[in-house]
Amino acid sequence: MNTKDIEQLIELLEKSTISEIEVGKWGRMIRVSRQGGNVVVQNSAGVPAPTQTPAPAQASTETEDDESSLQGLAIKSPMVGTFYRSPSPDVDAFVKVGDHVKKGDTLCIIEAMKIMNEVEAEVSGVILDVQIENAQPVEYGQTLFLIEP
């Protein structure tokens, strides 16, 4: 599938009342869904093999250990993409460990298909930990931040 095919799927989703489309072509699966008002595209076959199988399993185990030791609320990635701590490289991060945030404050940006999607705080609280390095790829559901409400 190429970019034009994916754009057509996004347009179809936006024009209809359905919430998810999954299409398979030449052994690749593409899922386009609505999540919290955002359109999310997940590619199940185009991800490099090393990050597809072993890395998420290890990352989730490490994340669970971190979450249990820090006792915070996990803010998870709503989509697959690239994690950015600031709106541009020459600007300070949206938040850092120890910052107080209010519900709705922007915590980071996840770039997916050249679209910048802001991730907002789900609750007010204090940032306990940032789980991802800047400009690193993230998976759907991967923990980004731990917040103490």
Handedness of CA 138, 140, 141, 144 (dihedral sign): positive
Model pTM score = 0.54
Cα separation, 75 vs 125, in Å, equals 12
**Distance between alpha carbon 21 and the CA centroid of its chain, in Å?**
19
Domain 59-148 has CATH 2.40.50.100: yes
Break the chain into its structural domains and give their ranges.
3-43, 59-148
In terms of average pLDDT, the best of 4-8, 34-38, 46-50, 115-119 is 115-119
Cα separation, 78 vs 89, in Å, equals 23
Number of helices (H), then strands (E), in the chain: 3, 11
Give SS3 for 5.
Answer: helix
* Contact status, residue 47 vs residue 56, Cβ threshold 8 Å: no
What order of strands is seen across the sheet that includes strand 115-120? 115-120, 106-112, 81-84, 136-138
pLDDT tens-place string over residues 36-51 = 666 666 565 444 323 2
pLDDT tens-place string over residues 71-113 = 788 999 999 999 999 988 899 999 999 999 999 999 999 998 8
Q: Among residues 101, 97, 96, 120, which one has the least CA distance to residue 109?
A: 120
Residue 35 pLDDT more than 50? yes
**Distance between alpha carbon 135 and the CA centroid of its chain, in Å?**
12
